[in-house]
Structure 1
Amino acid sequence: MPKTEQELLDRDAERDIGAELLESIGQMTAGEAAAVHSPVAIARHRVQMSQSQFAQLLGVSVRVLQEWEQSACEPSGAARSLIRVAQERPEVLRELFLDAVA
């Protein structure tokens, strides 16, 4: 069941996703078992964007992006394709985002 808005706010108030991702990357580099993060959160981290920026780039609400990052539901269609680009060629999406906000 998807989390309520308040549950999401409470969870996010206690988490630093960027720090968690960096810690996991460090653990993987050291060959240690790391916490599993959603592919969407990892893709967002690779393009170095906030949830708000990444949601804007994908054309979805921050709430939808948070649900994807929690694995409460999965992206489909064009969003899935853009997330794959973010995973494999993050510089392309950073460039597109900068062009869009310029």
Structure 2
Amino acid sequence: MAKEITGEELGNKLLQSVKEMQAGKAARVTQIAANEVAAARLKTGLSQILFAQALQISPRTLQEWEQGRRKPSGAAKALIQIAFRHPEVIREGLKVNKSLHRTA
């Protein structure tokens, strides 16, 4: 049986993935289909613009991933998998990110 992951552990993994993605660091190689990117976004209930903001990428990049013209990096793939399995984490992360920008 798989170990349950706490919200804090999941949040830490999400933050680490974002940092790796921003640094251009390659993670474990995982194949992800274009329809999986769209499915993950749809599970979050976010628009392309908001989902792109949550992943800290441009909406155009997200569109290219969803249409299969480009493939996400290893770190981005990890974030997409988190979005699919735990969409609430992505929505919460977007709220935190927006509140940080308002106070800055």
- Fold conserved between structures, TM > 0.5: yes
Paired AA for residue 70 in structure 2: C
The aligned length equals: 66
1:95 aligned residue: 92
Larger-Rg structure: 1
- Aligned match of 1:55: 52
Superposed, 1:1-102 pairs within 5 Å as 38-102=35-99
Q: TM-score, normalised by structure 1?
A: 0.61
> C-alpha separation between the residues in 2 aligned to 1:59 and 1:72?
19
User: Partners in 1 of 2:44 and 2:94 — Cα distance?
Assistant: 10
Per-residue deviation, 1:84:
0.3
Higher relative contact order structure (alpha carbons within 8 Å, sequence separation ≥ 6): 2
Following TM superposition, where does structure 1 have runs of at least 4 consecutive aligned residues deviating by more than 6 angstroms? none
**What RMSD over aligned residues (CA atoms) do the two structures have, in Å?**
1.2
Question: Aligned partners of 2:86 and 2:97: how far apart in 1?
Answer: 18
- The offset of 1:77, in angstroms, is 2.2
TM-score by length of 2: 0.60
Structure 2 gaps, min length 5:
1-33, 100-104
CA contact (8 A) 2:54 2:91 kept: no
| 1:40-77 deviation digits (Å, cap 9, x = unpaired) | 11100101111111111111111110000001111012
Q: Distance in 2 between matches of 1:101 and 1:62?
A: 17
